[in-house]
Amino acid sequence: MIRLAIRNLFQNRTRLIISVGGVALALMLILSLDGIVRWIQTRVAAYIDASEADIWVAQAGVRNMHMASSSLSSERALEVGRVEGVDSVTPILYLTNVVVAGEERTISYIIGLPEEAQAGRPWIVSAGRGDPRPGGAVIDQGIAEASGIGLGDRVELLGADFEVVGLSGGTTSLTNSIAFISSEDFARLRASPDTVSFLLVRVEASAPPDKIARLIEDQVEGVTAQTREQFSAQERKVVRDMSTDLVTIMNSVGFLIGLAVMGLTVYTATLSRRAEYGVLKALGARNRDLYLSVGVQALASVVLGLAAGLAFTLLLAGIVPRIVSNLGLEVSLESLGKVATASLIFASTAALLPIRQIRGLDPAVVFRGK
Amino acid sequence: MLVARKNLIQEKTRFALSVGGVALAIMLVLILDGFQVGMYRQITSYLDHSEGSLVVAQEGVVNLIGATSLLPLGTRAQVEAVEGVQGVAPILSQFVILDLHDKKQPAYLVGYSPELGGGPWEIVEGREPEVDEEMVFDRVLAERHAIGVGDRVVLMDRSYRIVGLSGGTTSWMTSFLFLRKSAVESLLLSPGATSFLLVVVADGQSPEIIRDRISRLSGVDAMLKSEVQANDSRLLARFFSAPVRLMTAIAFLVGVLVVGLVIYTATVERQREYGVLKALGARNRLLYKVVLAQAALAALVGTGLGILLARAASAAIMAARPQFLVVMQSEMAGRAIVIGLGMGLLAALFPARVLAGLAPAEVFRR
């Protein structure tokens, strides 16, 4: 019966392609939305993850970088540096502003870096240098390409002109890019010479970062210290919490579409095979055997649909970043598990639809030529 | 047309499933559209309701949302002295992340001077802040987290007492919170700082002329409110248009395949009847028309249902999650019909090969 079901499924290739394609696209809706959100989560925390800092120290109560502001007196850097187990402290300045490159205006995190920074530098430098130094700026390579500018060209940041001295990679996300200038320029343009935004702390080789973070909070007033992993997790949580409701709504619609497509596929397949099922019944096959045949077809369709949906999504993940510089997809095992579960529900629900047809099928129908 | 309709609706379950599939795809397209329009409205709501017709920002900053602006010290006095300026409301604004019930909630914090303006435009309960430790909180966000007037909220390790709840200040991305300007200066460790000036132009004066006069000042850019609103909308479109377009394209393809599957199956099932028509002299063009009519009918019925579903779903979404604004504009229905017809047109291609290869004699061989 299983062999019969598979042969039935593959006999009409056009219908198979349409139905598998439909299921694949419905699953792709869920997979790609999940993939986009996951990509944003990774990118939003990319700077923190690649910062090489073991601990991030911020203004008391500030636990995020994205959509947040932190101000610390520059004296705090000295105090943190005196905490036992701290190897180096890199103070950085940060705010969100516009990078004007040619005709393009891009919202960017502007990072003010001190010379010879031990942490927080651009982690992929595809051209030029990573250390901006006074008068220089390191901007995202994708932004530079989109604006048609390169090394030696001028860009506007914080209302001032800078020479592009480096191009960085991995520094763009859906909402913004990251640009680096020197702390000196940053402080001058913001007229805030005694203030820094975050302290990037590296600990001694044998020192556990979580313990040192607690020591910093105990010994330095008005700061919140988190390990890099904690800080990064908080950053991802912002994206996750913001997108949860939206993703749930979209996934629900995707799920319903998948259900309708799969139901339609199995129902039409059964309908068109009515005569064959009648023959089987006339030859003594029980309803149970026919249900099995329908179930196997439904299952095989969703398995193929799942594989095709995954393949399409992976293809999309490869193509999208080449077309849209601030968008990408990251397919995860968790998402795959989610769509696999949805597929099983599609198959089992769809297999229930033609039950009434099979049950009411008259074996004599085949002899009447209907 | 009669043949097409009869052929299509003969098998009712199949017809219902195909209409349902198209309707869901259209619903998804419309909800995405409505969500995007709603976001644009929400993102400009502050400027829609705030004082004045001009916004003064740090030079190079052209957005209210998205970029940090810090005006040079003394800018307020310089702008007030510009001929044709009637009033100036300074605000200090900054995105902040609230931790509410273990959820991260971005909020746009506005520091304003109640006597000058720039604060909440609708207080639904309570009053405006009178001292630095008082706050006006967004009503929808307050309801979601069971917070009310008199409760305290921690912002960057400082505690503020809610004295008022504001209406029309929520969005999916962020909600507005209002403190006195001096309170935000203290919170951000930026004494005397100002992000933007909201400028009221004197009666009879042209906002464009005053804008140009203010822009001559050093270190600042003056813009019409409508320009800043357009810039904020453009910024938002840059963030969200690509994912929304991607989702819409997938939904469209799903709709094409759903209609295609039904039309294809219906055509294959009726091969003999089509063969009879061919044997009686009907040309392929006529058969294509029958198939196309079926596809268009299924797509249009599905589109109609999809429009109704989208309206119902958007109402349900906004009732359950008031932070979402899904705006259904009348022109969207027209667009949905065009999309639906597009689905039908493409879907009709699937059975075209079957019809073209059909031998008229086939009917007599069976």
Give the CA count within 13 Å in the CB-facing half-sphere of A58. 21
Of B154, B254, B262, the CB nearest to A257: B254
Of B59, B174, B268, the CB nearest to A159: B59
- Residue B217 is encoded by which pair of tokens? 């000042």
Whole-angstrom CA distances from A359 to A277, A278, B112, B223 are 11, 11, 72, 72
Whole-angstrom CA distances from A165 to A104, A125, A130, A148, A190 are 18, 10, 8, 15, 21
A21 CB near a chain B CB, below 8 Å?
A: yes
Average pLDDT of the residues in B196-224: 94
The string of pLDDT tens digits covering residues A283-315 is 888 888 888 888 888 888 888 888 998 998 999
Q: Taking a contact as any Cβ pair under 8 Å apart, which residues of chain A between 98 and 127 contact chain B?
A: 98, 100, 105, 107
Q: Which domain holds residue B312?
A: 2-43+235-365
Of B95, B257, B262, the CB nearest to A25: B257
| CB contact (8 A) between residue A241 and residue B157 | no
| CB contact (8 A) between residue A326 and residue B242 | yes
A239, A44 contact by CB (below 8 A): yes
A256 CB near a chain B CB, below 8 Å?
A: yes
CB atoms within 10 A of CB A334: 9
Looking at the fold, whether B206 and B249 belong to one and the same domain comes out as no
| CB contact (8 A) between residue A64 and residue B262 | no
* Among candidate residues B152, B186, B218, the one where a domain is terminated: B218
Whole-angstrom CA distances from A157 to A99, A114, A136, A248, B155 are 5, 17, 10, 38, 29
| CB contact (8 A) between residue A98 and residue B97 | no
Supply φ then ψ for residue A328, to 5 degrees. -155, 175
CA B350/CA B291 separation, integer angstroms: 10
| CB contact (8 A) between residue A327 and residue B156 | no
Percent residues over pLDDT 90 in chain B: 41
Provide, as residue numbers in chain A, all residues whose Cβ is less than 8 Å from the Cβ of B67. Answer: 96-98, 107
A57 CB near a chain B CB, below 8 Å?
A: no
* Among candidate residues B218, B246, B264, the one where a domain is terminated: B218
Is the pLDDT score of A370 beyond 50?
no
| CB contact (8 A) between residue A261 and residue B97 | no
Q: Taking a contact as any Cβ pair under 8 Å apart, which residues of chain B between 105 and 124 contact chain A?
A: 105-106
Looking at the fold, whether B292 and B323 belong to one and the same domain comes out as yes
- Contacts with A197 (C-beta within 8 Å, 6 or more apart), sequence order: A58, A69, A70, A71, A72, A91, A92, A93, A94, A95, A112
pLDDT in the model for residue A366: 58
Choose between A223 and B104: higher pLDDT.
A223
Is the pLDDT score of A168 beyond 70?
yes
A321, A308 contact by CB (below 8 A): no
Q: Taking a contact as any Cβ pair under 8 Å apart, which residues of chain A between 282 and 321 contact chain B?
A: 316, 320
Domain-embedded: residue B284: yes
Domain-embedded: residue B188: yes
- Give ipTM to 2 decimals: 0.74
CB atoms within 10 A of CB B304: 18
Domain count, chain B: 2
DSSP string, A223-260: EEEEEHHHHHHHHHHHHHHHHHHHHHHHHHHHHHHHHH
CA B11/CA A271 separation, integer angstroms: 9
pLDDT in the model for residue A364: 66
Looking at the fold, whether B336 and B246 belong to one and the same domain comes out as yes
B312 CB near a chain A CB, below 8 Å?
A: no
B97 CB near a chain A CB, below 8 Å?
A: yes
Percent residues over pLDDT 70 in chain B: 95
Looking at the fold, whether B200 and B131 belong to one and the same domain comes out as yes
Is the pLDDT score of A1 beyond 70?
no
| CB contact (8 A) between residue A174 and residue B239 | yes
The string of pLDDT tens digits covering residues B307-318 is 999 999 899 988
Is the pLDDT score of B301 beyond 60?
yes
Is the pLDDT score of A350 beyond 50?
yes
Which of B7, B14, B156 to mutate: most A Cβ within 10 Å?
B156
Provide, as residue numbers in chain A, all residues whose Cβ is less than 8 Å from the Cβ of B60. Answer: 97-98, 100, 156, 158-159
pLDDT in the model for residue B51: 87
Contacts 24+ apart (CB under 8 A), A189-193: A189/A158, A189/A159, A189/A160, A190/A93, A190/A95, A190/A158, A190/B70, A191/B70, A191/B72, A191/B73, A192/A93, A192/B190, A193/A74
| CB contact (8 A) between residue A98 and residue B258 | no
B364 CB near a chain A CB, below 8 Å?
A: no
pLDDT band for A253, please (50, 70, 90 cuts): confident
A135, A105 contact by CB (below 8 A): no
Looking at the fold, whether B95 and B26 belong to one and the same domain comes out as no
Of B21, B70, B247, the CB nearest to A264: B21
Looking at the fold, whether B21 and B95 belong to one and the same domain comes out as no
A33 CB near a chain B CB, below 8 Å?
A: yes
Is the pLDDT score of A369 beyond 60?
no
Is the pLDDT score of B100 beyond 50?
yes
For residue A319, which amino acid is it?
A: I
Q: Where are the domains of chain A?
A: 2-44+244-367, 61-221
Provide, as residue numbers in chain B, all residues whose Cβ is less than 8 Å from the Cβ of A107. Answer: 63, 66-67, 235
Whole-angstrom CA distances from A146 to A101, A102, A166, B68, B242 are 9, 9, 16, 23, 16
3-state SS assignment for residue B97: strand
Of A97, A234, A264, the CB nearest to B61: A97
A27 CB near a chain B CB, below 8 Å?
A: no
B361 CB near a chain A CB, below 8 Å?
A: no
| CB contact (8 A) between residue A272 and residue B103 | no
Gyration radius from chain A CA atoms? 29
Gyration radius from chain B CA atoms? 29
CA B63/CA B61 separation, integer angstroms: 6
| CB contact (8 A) between residue B94 and residue A69 | yes
State the residue for tokens 């006597």.
B115
Q: Which residue of A has its CA nearest to B186?
A: A71
Of B24, B60, B258, the CB nearest to A159: B60
| CB contact (8 A) between residue A22 and residue B254 | yes
pLDDT in the model for residue B3: 65
Which of B189, B232, B267 to mutate: most A Cβ within 10 Å?
B189
Q: Which residue of B has its CA nearest to A233?
A: B104
Domain-embedded: residue B62: no
Nearest-CA distance A245 → chain B (Å): 8
Choose between B86 and A143: higher pLDDT.
B86
| CB contact (8 A) between residue B60 and residue A32 | no
Which of A34, A96, A226, A264 to mutate: most B Cβ within 10 Å?
A264
pLDDT in the model for residue B8: 65
- Residue A105 is encoded by which pair of tokens? 């205006």
pLDDT in the model for residue A365: 60
A242 CB near a chain B CB, below 8 Å?
A: yes
A151 CB near a chain B CB, below 8 Å?
A: no
The string of pLDDT tens digits covering residues B282-297 is 788 888 888 888 888 8
pLDDT in the model for residue A93: 94
